[in-house]
Amino acid sequence: MVLTAVGATSIAFHVHGQLLYSEAFDSSGSANVVGNTTGGANMEVRYVDYSSFMVGSQSFSIPEAPGSAVVGGLATRGVLMRSTYDGTARIANLFPAAGPGGSPLTFSGSYSLSFDMWLSLDPTATTASAGTTEVGIWGIGTDNNTPIGRTYRSSVKGTWGWLSVDGGFGSTVNNGDAAFRSNGVQVAILENPTQPANWQAAWPNNPNLPGTTPIVNPPWNSWTSVEVTAIEGEVSVKFNGVEFFKYADMPTTGFAVIGYEDPFTGSTSFSPDWQWGLFDNIRIVAIPEPSSLGLMLLSGLLGLFGRRRS
User: Rounded to whole angstroms, how far apart are CA atoms 274 and 221?
Assistant: 9
pLDDT of residue 3: 40
CA 261 – CA 264 distance, rounded (Å): 9
- CA dihedral 128→44→203→265, nearest 10 degrees, is 30
Q: What string of H, E and C letters represents the secondary structure of the chain?
A: CCEEEECCCEEEECCCCCEEEEECCCCCCCCCEEEEEECHHHEEEEEEECCCEEECCEEECCCCCCCHHHHCCCCCEEEEEEECCCCCCCEEEEEEECCCCCCECEECCCEEEEEEEEECCCCCCCCCCCCCCCEEEEEEEECCCCCCCHHHCCCCCCEEEEEECCCCCCCCCCCCCEEEEECCEEEEEECCCCCCHHHHHHCCCCCCECCCCCECCCCECCEEEEEEEEECCEEEEEECCEEEEEECCCCCCEEEEEEEECCCCCCCCCCHHHCCEEEEEEEEEECCCHHHHHHHHHHHHHHHHHHHHC
Count CB neighbours of 265 within 10 A: 12
pTM of full prediction above 0.85: yes
Sign of CA dihedral 150, 122, 47, 65: negative
Gap between the Cα atoms of 119 and 51, Å rounded? 15
Residues comprising the chain, all counted: 310
Closest CA to 108 of 145, 142, 71: 142
Q: What is the pLDDT of residue 17?
A: 83
Which positions ≥6 away from 232 have C-beta within 8 Å?
A: 110, 289, 290, 291
- C-alpha to C-alpha distance for 63 and 52, rounded to whole angstroms: 10
**What does each of the 310 residues of the chain score in pLDDT, given as a tens digit?**
334 343 333 333 333 489 999 999 999 999 999 998 776 566 889 999 999 999 999 999 999 999 999 999 999 999 999 876 555 558 899 999 999 999 999 999 999 999 999 999 999 999 888 888 899 999 999 998 888 988 888 889 999 999 999 988 766 778 899 999 999 999 999 999 889 999 999 999 999 999 877 799 999 999 999 999 999 999 999 999 999 999 999 999 999 999 999 887 666 788 889 999 999 999 999 998 765 544 444 444 445 444 444 4
Q: For the chain, give the longest Cα–Cα distance.
A: 78
CB 223 within 8 A of CB 64: no
Our measurement of the distance from residue 166's CA atom to the centroid of its chain's CA atoms, rounded to an integer in Å, reads: 16
Are 253 and 141 spatial neighbours (Cβ–Cβ below 8 Å)? Answer: yes
